[in-house]
C-alpha cells in the first residue's frame, strides 16, 4: 500500500536581517521525518527585494526547495499572509529570521501535532545571551518565549516557533490583521481568534529554536517597550464595543494590577530578578490600560525599527 507523503512548508518572514543566512543554514541541517517533503518560503517584507541575493546564495547549500517571495512593505502581516497564500501543503511552520532551529525541531512539532490532533503546535524559543548582558537578565531568562496556560489550556500563540495544520477548518481562510502589522501582536490576535472559534493549541517542549539577544535588546528599556506593546494588544482584544461598563471594569482591574506590581517592584529593590519581573508586569498592565483606552499601539516593524 502506498501512503501519501506529508508536505510541509517552513515560512521565514524577513526584513533586512543578515542573520537570515544562519536561519537557513540551520533549516538545511534539519532531521526530516521519513514520510515528509520540505519546502522553505522566504517572505521579504522590505520595499526592495533586499534578501533575494542572500537567498540565491544559500540555495546550493540547502537540500530543500526555497520559494522567495517579495511582499512589501514594512508590515509583517503582509509577509505572513503571503506565506499562507503560497502554501498549499498540509503543514505550515513559522520561524523568525534571527533564529536557528534544533536538528529535531520539525520532527518534534509534527509528532506532537499527530499525537494531540491540535490545529496549532507551539514550541519554545530559548534566548541566547552574551556575557555583556546584565547578570540578572541572564539568570532570570527574560527573553525566552513559551506559551501561557489559562485554566489548563493555551488560548493564544506566537509565530516565532509554530506549526499550523492547514487542513483544519478553523484555519481555512484565516489571515493576519494588516492593521497590527506594524505594531506587532498580529500573531497574538490571530491565534486568540482561532481559539475563540474552537481551535486547539498544543505545546511541544522539545521543539527548540534559539534566538540570540543582541546588545540593543539586552536592556530593561527594550523589555519594557515590548511588554507595554504586548499589554496594548491584550487590552485592545479585551475591549468590546458597546459594553462600556465591562471596559471600565477591565481598566480598573488592569490599573490595580499595575499599581500592585509597581509597589512589589519597589519592595523587592534588593532582588534584581524579582524586582525586574514585577516592574515589567507593571508596565505590561499599564499597556493593557492603554489598549483599553484605544491608544495607538507602539510600532515594532518596518524601517523605523530596522
Any idea what the CATH number is for the domain that residue 147 is in?
Answer: 3.90.550.10
> What pLDDT digit, counting tens, does each position of 32-57 carry?
988 899 999 999 999 999 999 999 99
Residues 60 and 190 in one domain: yes
Residue in 192, 112, 185 with CA at minimum distance from that of residue 154: 192
Residue 47 DSSP one-character state: S
Residues 94 and 181 in one domain: yes
How many separate domains does the chain show?
2
Mean pLDDT of the residues in the chain? 94
Q: Please report whether residue 72 resides in a domain.
A: yes
Residues 120 and 253 in one domain: no
Instruction: Give the pLDDT of residue 117.
Output: 97
Structural contact between residues 147 and 283, judged by C-beta atoms closer than 8 angstroms:
no
**Single residue among 175, 194, 217 that ends a domain in this structure:** 217
Residues 68 and 121 in one domain: yes
Mean pLDDT of all residues in 202-211: 98
Residues 69 and 201 in one domain: yes
High-pLDDT (> 70) share of the chain, %:
96
Residues 229 and 199 in one domain: no
When pLDDT is cut at 50, 70 and 90, the band that residue 3 belongs to is: low
- Domain, as residue range, for 249: 220-305
Q: Please report whether residue 187 resides in a domain.
A: yes
Residues 229 and 163 in one domain: no
Instruction: Give the pLDDT of residue 302.
Output: 55
> What pLDDT digit, counting tens, does each position of 171-192 carry?
999 999 999 998 889 999 999 9
High-pLDDT (> 90) share of the chain, %:
88
> What pLDDT digit, counting tens, does each position of 131-147 carry?
999 999 999 999 999 99
Residues 163 and 247 in one domain: no
Q: Which of 1-5, 108-112, 193-197, 293-297 has the lowest mean pLDDT?
A: 1-5
> What pLDDT digit, counting tens, does each position of 240-295 carry?
666 888 999 999 999 999 999 999 999 999 999 999 999 999 999 999 999 999 99
Give 76's Cβ-side CA count (13 Å radius): 28
Mean pLDDT of all residues in 24-29: 98
Mean pLDDT of all residues in 72-87: 96
- Max CA distance (Å), the chain: 67
pLDDT at 127 over 60: yes
Instruction: Give the pLDDT of residue 1.
Output: 41
Residue in 170, 11, 16, 153 with CA at minimum distance from that of residue 93: 11
Residue in 72, 211, 63 with CA at minimum distance from that of residue 128: 211
Q: Please report whether residue 298 resides in a domain.
A: yes
Q: Please report whether residue 197 resides in a domain.
A: yes
Look up cell 507593571; give the residue: 282
Mean pLDDT of all residues in 73-101: 96
Instruction: Give the pLDDT of residue 299.
Output: 72
Residues 155 and 17 in one domain: yes
Q: Please report whether residue 1 resides in a domain.
A: no
Instruction: Give the pLDDT of residue 248.
Output: 93
Cell numbers standing for residue 202: 498544543
**SS3 of residue 67 by DSSP:** strand
Dihedral of alpha carbons 294, 282, 187, 26, sign? positive
Instruction: Give the pLDDT of residue 241.
Output: 67
Q: Which of 86-100, 189-203, 232-246, 261-275 has the lowest mean pLDDT?
A: 232-246
Amino acid at each position: 500500500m502506498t501512503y501519501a507523503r506529508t508536505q510541509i512548508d517552513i515560512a521565514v518572514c524577513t526584513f533586512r536581517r543578515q542573520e537570515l543566512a544562519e536561519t537557513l543554514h540551520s533549516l538545511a541541517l534539519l532531521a526530516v521525518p521519513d514520510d515528509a517533503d520540505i519546502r522553505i518560503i522566504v517572505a521579504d517584507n522590505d520595499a526592495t527585494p533586499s534578501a533575494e541575493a542572500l537567498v540565491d546564495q544559500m540555495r546550493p547549500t540547502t537540500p530543500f526547495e526555497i520559494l522567495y517571495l517579495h511582499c512589501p512593505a514594512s508590515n509583517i502581516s503582509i509577509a505572513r499572509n503571503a506565506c499562507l497564500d503560497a502554501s498549499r501543503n498540509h503543514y505550515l511552520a513559522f520561524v523568525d529570521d534571527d533564529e536557528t532551529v534544533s536538528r529535531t525541531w520539525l520532527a518534534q512539532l509534527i509528532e506532537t501535532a499527530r499525537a494531540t490532533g491540535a490545529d496549532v503546535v507551539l514550541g519554545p524559543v530559548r534566548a541566547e545571551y552574551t556575557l555583556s548582558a546584565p547578570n540578572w537578565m541572564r539568570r532570570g531568562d527574560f527573553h525566552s518565549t513559551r506559551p501561557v496556560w489559562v485554566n489548563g489550556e493555551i488560548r493564544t500563540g506566537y509565530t516565532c516557533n509554530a506549526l499550523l495544520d492547514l487542513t483544519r477548518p478553523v484555519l481555512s481562510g484565516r489571515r493576519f490583521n494588516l492593521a497590527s502589522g506594524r505594531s506587532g501582536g498580529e500573531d497574538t490576535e490571530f491565534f486568540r481568534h482561532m481559539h475563540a472559534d474552537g481551535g486547539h493549541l498544543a505545546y511541544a517542549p522539545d521543539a527548540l529554536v534559539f534566538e540570540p539577544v543582541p546588545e540593543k535588546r539586552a536592556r530593561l528599556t527594550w523589555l519594557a517597550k515590548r511588554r507595554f506593546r504586548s499589554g496594548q494588544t491584550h487590552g485592545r482584544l479585551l475591549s468590546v464595543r458597546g459594553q462600556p461598563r465591562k471596559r471600565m471594569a477591565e481598566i480598573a482591574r488592569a490599573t490595580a494590577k499595575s499599581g500592585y506590581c509597581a509597589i512589589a517592584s519597589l519592595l523587592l529593590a534588593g532582588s534584581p530578578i524579582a524586582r525586574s519581573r514585577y516592574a515589567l508586569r507593571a508596565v505590561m498592565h499599564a499597556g493593557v490600560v492603554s489598549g483599553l483606552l484605544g491608544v495607538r499601539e507602539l510600532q515594532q516593524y518596518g524601517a523605523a525599527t530596522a
